[in-house]
């Protein structure tokens, strides 16, 4: 498998995660100091507390870059041959795989625990454990959000790029999968709108679609020229 990545972007955002986490911890320490060592400073206490929480959450957001989801995905798909190319942060989609199995938007998540799709709320959520455990997981882990909305946005951005360079008479079918990178994730797909799999099962899900939504060599060559034009 060929890999096109953006190493500079990963390094920059990893540094931002470190700065945000350190800043958040310092503000939380300052909040505790203000609370126990000053009188009548509740306003300043809440200011430091809120700032610390926001910075820690920002650090969690950028922290996914330092965890390198691209490397985890590469490892899961390493046995694919060179007819496949994966683009990390080099296309309108964050992680785009193209090959004989078609176009795949990959949405990596580091969330662990029992994960299920809530059909009523149309989102992925955590289940099990007591209220304190669930609160801790929500505070310390990457939020699951609504990956199907993320996929729709990325698919729309990809369409905008391709409509300028691709023949409308040769339609492309874009697929998506949520990829859970933690071995501690227990995924219950239920009525999810598209596949959600552990990383170790990703290759099987992708290659299973080769006969239904496959791309031929000419299509793959044109797509790679559009996404990675010669300099």
- Listed by start position, the domains of the chain span 2-66, 69-227
Whether the Cβ atoms of residue 177 and residue 193 lie closer than 8 Å to each other: no
The tens-digit pLDDT sequence of the chain (231 residues) is: 999 999 888 889 889 999 999 999 999 999 888 888 877 678 888 899 999 999 988 888 887 778 889 999 999 999 999 999 999 999 999 999 999 999 999 999 888 778 888 777 777 777 655 555 555 555 555 667 678 888 999 999 999 998 888 887 788 889 999 999 888 888 877 777 888 889 999 999 998 876 666 889 999 999 999 998 887
Instruction: Supply the pTM of this predicted model.
Output: 0.78
């Amino acid at each position: 498998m060929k890999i096109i990545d953006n190493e500079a972007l990963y390094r920059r955002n990893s540094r931002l995660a470190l700065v945000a986490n350190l800043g958040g911890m310092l503000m939380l320490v300052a909040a505790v100091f203000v609370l126990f060592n000053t009188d009548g400073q509740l306003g300043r206490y809440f200011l430091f507390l809120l700032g610390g929480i926001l910075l820690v959450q920002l650090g969690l957001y950028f922290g996914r870059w330092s965890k390198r989801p691209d490397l985890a995905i590469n490892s899961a798909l390493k046995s694919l041959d060179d007819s496949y190319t994966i683009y990390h942060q080099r296309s309108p989609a964050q992680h785009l795989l193209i090959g004989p199995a078609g176009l795949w938007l990959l949405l990596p998540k580091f969330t662990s625990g029992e994960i299920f799709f809530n059909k009523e709320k149309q989102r992925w959520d955590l289940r099990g454990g007591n209220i304190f455990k669930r609160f801790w997981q929500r505070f310390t882990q990457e939020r699951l959000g609504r990956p199907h909305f993320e996929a729709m946005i990325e698919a729309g951005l990809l369409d905008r790029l391709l409509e300028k360079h691709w023949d409308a008479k040769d339609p492309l079918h874009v697929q998506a999968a949520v990829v859970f990178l933690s071995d501690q994730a227990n995924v219950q797909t239920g009525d999810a709108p598209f596949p959600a799999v552990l990383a170790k099962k990703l290759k099987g899900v992708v290659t299973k679609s080769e006969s239904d939504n496959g791309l031929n060599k000419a299509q793959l060559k044109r797509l790679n020229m559009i996404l990675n034009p010669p300099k």
